[in-house]
Amino acid sequence: MKMLKLYAYVIVCLFAFASVSHGSAQAVMAPDKLVEDVTETLLNDIAVYRDALNKAGNATEEARLLSQFYDTLGATLEPVIDFNWISLNVMGSYRKQATAGQRKRFREVFTRSLVETYGRGLLTYSDEKIIVHPLDGAEQNKRKVTVIQEIKGVDKTYPLLYSMGLNRNGDWKVINVIINGINLGTTFRNQFVQAAEKYNGDVDKVIENWSISQG
């Protein structure tokens, strides 16, 4: 299984977390349970976009549908993923020397790049089985939890660990993902450092040339 496709499964599950954020306060406190309930519906939505793209009559229509899909994905993920915290973490020590404008632009570029890159992979999602491990009672009372999922393919099982925090507004936010042993936060931070070294510490150039897929 290619890593891009595997990352796509992460977005499938994050879709589920995003739907959780629009539910009741009680629902928000049990993300592990709600993921199981909403994933099937969300996969149906993905299938609709995939079917529409397969039927696109020309490149212009396909580009329009893709843009609509990315916009929808971004709007869905924005309420539940703490993109601001993640993007600052990815910048590492460079965030201290960056201006407020640069931090804001990197957040926007980072978010859109992630959405578009893994949105493309998301459309390749097939029929792998997703299992959510329930949180125990003690974990449900914490402000930070790790939700464990497994993606069961034909020949292998891939573990996913979602680090989630409860913010001041009582909303769960995804702050990191470890997929099959790969810490995405660390991976992207290393990518930023390498790009900064390549451009001699020029943060503007790092932002201008940023792409999730290059890591």
CATH number at residue 37: 3.10.450.710
What residue numbers bound the domain in which 47 lies?
Answer: 3-214
Dmax (CA) for the chain in angstroms is: 54
- Per-residue pLDDT reduced to its tens digit, 71-101: 877 777 777 788 999 999 999 999 999 999 9
Please tell me the distance from the alpha carbon of residue 111 to that of residue 60, in angstroms, as a whole number.
Answer: 24
Q: In the chain, which residues have pLDDT < 50?
A: 1, 4, 16, 18-29, 34, 38, 215
Residue 161 pairs in a beta bridge with 148, 178
Q: For the chain, how many structural domains are there in total?
A: 1
- Per-residue pLDDT reduced to its tens digit, 94-105: 999 999 999 999
